[in-house]
Amino acid sequence: MFTNAHRQLITLILLLYFSIIIISTVTCSDSNPNNIAVGVNWGTMTSHQLPPEKVVEMMTENGFKKVKLFEAEKRIMEALIGSQIEVMVAIPNFMLYDMSRDPVYADYWVDANVTTYSYPGGVNIKYVAVGNEPFLKAYNATYLQITLPALKNVQNALNRAGLGSEIKATVPLNADIYESPESNPVPSAGDFRLEIKDATIEIVRFLYLNDAPFTVNIYPFLSLYGNPYFPMDFAFFDGSNHPVRDGNRVYTNVFDANYDTLVASLTKAGYPDMKIVVGEIGWPTDGDVNANVKNAKRFNQGVIKHVLGSKGTPARPGRLEIYLFSLLDENKKSIAPGSFETHWGIFEYDGKPKYELDLTGLKRDKGLAPVVGVQYMKRRWCVLNPRVKDLDGLAKEIDYACSLSDCTSLGYGSSCNRLSLVGNASYAFNMYYQLQGQSDWDCEFNGLAAVTWEDPSVGECRFPVMIAYGTSVVVHRKILKVLLGVLEGCIVFLLLVS
């Protein structure tokens, strides 16, 4: 028989139990990943790639819930299995022609890169990005006539695979596809560029009919980079001394103004409620006078706070969905647009965070977690030989080293801009040496260079030691597995014939 004391104890335990459940539910709803609309781009244009499984672990540790990929690399897709991270996987521009002409080709791609991973506990694929900024002005209409057919074939392939209701095809487009006239430079006057207007509206119509979002890449940094008279504070989110008035609307940052220029363009096209996803937005940390850690942190923290506030923009109140650009630095990106192109990462090339960033909006005093277990090459550097007196031909050797490596940090306003001639040469030699794998013959430069074990870094100018190739261990394991299989087969054969 239970006494009153027993009943009171049981009641107290039940109350505590249900209290814990309620608290847990409230806590989970506050940090519910589905309520956080901040994703990140993961590019892989790098000479030395981190092991994808370690990068996925880092993303999970830091609370990244969405990721946008630029192609369906098998190792990355496999690393994402079971992670629950929502994925936008892309089809590169060079595949658009074949994708537009052949529905079977689209079926094959979808089967190999989407269906293969779309199962319970697999990869949580949400979108397929068809191309990347195919209407960019720099492409001179190369993809203008093939983007829509490619988009249709991919979405139809998803439909045939039974995935069309869950996974949508979209086209990430650059913000240069719309503009406001110089005579009335306000967001509400925005419209699609005349030369691509018809093609763009056809894409919008198809996306709308298939309940897919319009994806746009917006870069406030480029507004500042391309215009020396652009007001600095208008590029950020923490107030502006140069607000833009558009009727009853007031804009205090260029992102809202740019976004609402797109809203106006879509409205003029007849799609005022079209869903919008910002596929890329970010700020670089080097390669330009305005590209530094301080500005990058200010901008990225500002846009995260702006998104998590769920206030939207003056013309489109409500929730915003964005993907930060980018997760990691990429030293093999083209620097034709600017030396900053290799420095968009929130994390360094080796997975170390460049600055603190609160992804939750909860103002937690917690730095970003790095990629753990990174293996580096030996701690040695290639520098200008201090014993060499005759420096004839040095400029030629520096040019050669930089042409085959990443010397963007030496540019005007960059982190290594204040180095001496000796420092410039050493930095160039070392970047080449590291990217080539630290081979002895890669630190020659006609007798001008020498290997040192003493770190030549100066202040903010870091001379990196490159990470070891992330694929080498996997390759060795595969080879070992094959050899073991062959050995096992030989043993079985010998047993059978003996």
Rg (CA), the chain: 26
Answer whether 434's CB lies under 8 Å from 345's CB.
no
Buried b (16+ CB within 10 A) or exposed e, 427-466: bbbbbbbbbbebeeebbebeebbbbbeeebebeebebbbb
Asked whether the beta carbons of 128 and 89 are under 8 A apart, the reply is: yes
- Could you give the CA distance from residue 52 to residue 471 in angstroms, rounded to a whole number? 10
Q: Which member of 86, 133, 330, 397 is catalytic?
A: 133
Judge whether 39 and 65 are in contact, CB under 8 Å: yes
Q: Give the active site residue among 61, 179, 195, 280.
A: 280
Please choose, from the candidates 119, 124, 175, 172, the residue with its C-alpha nearest in 3D space to the C-alpha of residue 150. Answer: 172
Dihedral of alpha carbons 398, 399, 404, 405, sign: positive
- What contacts 114, CB < 8 A, 6 or more positions away? 72, 89, 125, 128, 158, 161, 163, 167
Alpha helix ranges (H) inside 122-193: 147-160
Active site residue 182: no
Q: Find, among 189, 202, 124, 114, the residue nearest to 158 by Cα.
A: 114
Q: What angle do CA 23, 12, 8 make, to 5 degrees?
A: 165
Q: What is the DSSP letter of 339?
A: G
Instruction: Compute CA distances 137 → 141, 190, 200, 418, whole Å.
Output: 7, 17, 13, 35
Residue 321 main-chain phi, psi, to 5 deg? -125, 120
**Distance of alpha carbon 366 from the chain centroid:** 22
Other CB atoms within 10 A of residue 198 CB: 10
Give per-residue burial for 343-376: e unless 16+ CB within 10 Å, then b.
bbbbbbbbbebbbebbbebeeeeeebbbbeebee
**How far is residue 187 CA from its own chain's centroid?**
27
Among 426, 324, 343, 331, smallest CA distance to 380 is for 426
488 counts as catalytic: no
Distance set, CA 304 to CA 56, 88, 184, 312, 392 (Å)? 21, 19, 30, 12, 51
Active-site residue list: 133, 280
